[in-house]
Each structure stands twice: as structure tokens, then as C-alpha cells.
Structure 1
Amino acid sequence: MTTDGRRLMDAAEMQAFCLAKPGAWPDNPWDHDHPVIKVGEGAAGKIFAFLGGDGVGIKGGPSREAADEWLDRYPGAATVMAYIGRSGWNNLSFSGEIPDDELCEAVDESYRLVVSKLPRKHRPAGWDA
């Protein structure tokens, strides 16, 4: 709960939100507590969300500059992801500073960015609907 009584999104809710997307599936390539969520079949699948207990990693924009808008809007609650941050990936916290609807919009955009880069034959039906 936040100080104003709002319930906070958690990893399980975010996972359910992610898995409701066309072609989305969980994978655990690094044996973590939470899976990554991919889209695309098998080895062609690409990650669009990194789930964690305290937040979600998303493709924040097509470039680092575009992804930096999250850092400017939510300093502290949005951070650059280690290793892949230079490619526009951010961690967004479940702390309540970023409203749940904006977290969901960020995942939607990450999904869109990742799917749009897949070869057409690997894009799920209904992804752009």
C-alpha cells in the first residue's frame, strides 16, 4: 500500500499482465526467482520484460536518449539497467512512485518495440491489434 491507500502492483500481477499479450511466454534462462517474458517462438523469442521482486525491466525507448525520459520523470524509481541500459533498457520500480497504469503502458511500449524488430514470420498474430 502507498501512503494514500493505493495498492501497489507486484511481480505476480505484472507477470499476468505480460503473459496476456499475444505470443508472450515466460523463460528462466538464469535461474532467478522471477522469469523474463519473451515474445516470438523458441530460440527466436526476444525478451520484452525482465521481472523482479521490486520492479520490471523494460525497453524504455528505441534509443538511450528516448529511454532517459523515464529517468527524468521518475528519478530514483526509474534506473538504467546494468549491461543493456545503453540500448534503452530501464528498471521501473513497483514502489508506487510510478503509477501502475504507467508501468503497464511502459510494458506495452517495450512489447511493441521488441515485436516490431522480430522478423515478420516470428511476430504473433494479433500483436498490433
Structure 2
Amino acid sequence: MKHEDLVAYCLAKPGAEPDEPWEGDLVAKVGGKIFAFLGSGTGVGLKCGRDADEAAELRDAYPGSVTQSAYIGRYGWNSITLDGAVPDDELRELVDASYDAVVAKLPRRLRP
């Protein structure tokens, strides 16, 4: 999947908004919370489980292409390189799961 296609998929989610909290680093937010770190074009950071142990399953399935996210990896976030190793369908499912996990924790008034 190309980076621009991934960005478009993320931003097509209900209530999704782009933001650039750090210069040159695009993120997708819903209800003011990040659900995808879209970076500068080589990968994506997504919530891939409730904790680091659940997220490790994806890292084990795609060694070298999926790594633990710096600083927030212990909370279940992984960095996924867009090198074709993770199939497009699975990448979309991971975006969906990350979005759903963030929306589930939002107060009802902020949910799309």
C-alpha cells in the first residue's frame, strides 16, 4: 500500500482529522486522540493490541517490517514499515482496529 492511500484510508474514517503536532509528522486523530501516526511517508504507527504482549504477535508475524513503537510500544503501539510485507487487507484491518480502540475510550460526546 502506498503512503498516500493509507493516509486517505485513515482520514476517510468517521470524525477523522489530520494534524501535525510535530513539524513534518502527520497524524490522524478522532475526538482529539491519535489513532495513526502517519509520519513522513515510510510507515505508520498503530495501536495493535491492549498491551505490548498482544502487539508482539504482529511483530513476530512480520519481523523486520513491524517493530515496537518508541515510547508508547508498551501500550500496544507498533510501527509498520510500508514495504509490502504486511498485506494491504491486513493493514486496513489494523487501521480499523486502532481507530476502534481509540473511539471506544472516547467520552460518548466525542464519539463520531
1:51 matched to 2:42? The reply is no
Give 2:4's match in structure 1, choosing from 4, 7, 12.
Answer: 12
The list of structure 1 runs, each at least 4 consecutive aligned residues, that deviate by more than 2 angstroms after superposition, is none
Query: In the TM superposition, what is the alpha-carbon distance from 1:96 to its structure 2 partner?
Result: 0.5
Please state which structure has a larger fraction of its residues in strand: 2
**Contact 1:10–1:55, Cα closer than 8 Å, also in 2:** no
1:113 matched to 2:101? The reply is yes
Q: Give me the whole-angstrom Cα distance separating, in 2, the residues matched to 1:15 and 1:37.
A: 8
Q: Give me the whole-angstrom Cα distance separating, in 2, the residues matched to 1:113 and 1:65.
A: 16
Query: In the TM superposition, what is the alpha-carbon distance from 1:35 to its structure 2 partner?
Result: 1.1
Alignment of 1:21-60 (within 5 A): 21-32=13-24, 34-40=25-31, 45-52=32-39, 53-60=41-48
Task: Flag structure 1 segments of 5+ consecutive residues without an equivalent.
Answer: 1-8, 125-129
Query: In the TM superposition, what is the alpha-carbon distance from 1:54 to its structure 2 partner?
Result: 1.1
SS class of match (1:28): strand
**Contact 1:70–1:78, Cα closer than 8 Å, also in 2:** yes
Task: Flag structure 2 segments of 5+ consecutive residues without an equivalent.
Answer: none
Q: What RMSD, in angstroms, separates the aligned Cα atoms of the two structures? A: 0.8
Query: In the TM superposition, what is the alpha-carbon distance from 1:62 to its structure 2 partner?
Result: 1.1
Q: What is the total number of aligned residue pairs between the two structures? A: 111
Q: Give me the whole-angstrom Cα distance separating, in 1, the residues matched to 2:84 and 2:3.
A: 13
Identity among equivalent pairs (%): 59
* Larger Rg belongs to: 1
Query: In the TM superposition, what is the alpha-carbon distance from 1:11 to its structure 2 partner?
Result: 1.6
TM-score (norm 2): 0.96
What residue number does 1:90 align with?
Answer: 78
Query: In the TM superposition, what is the alpha-carbon distance from 1:112 to its structure 2 partner?
Result: 0.5
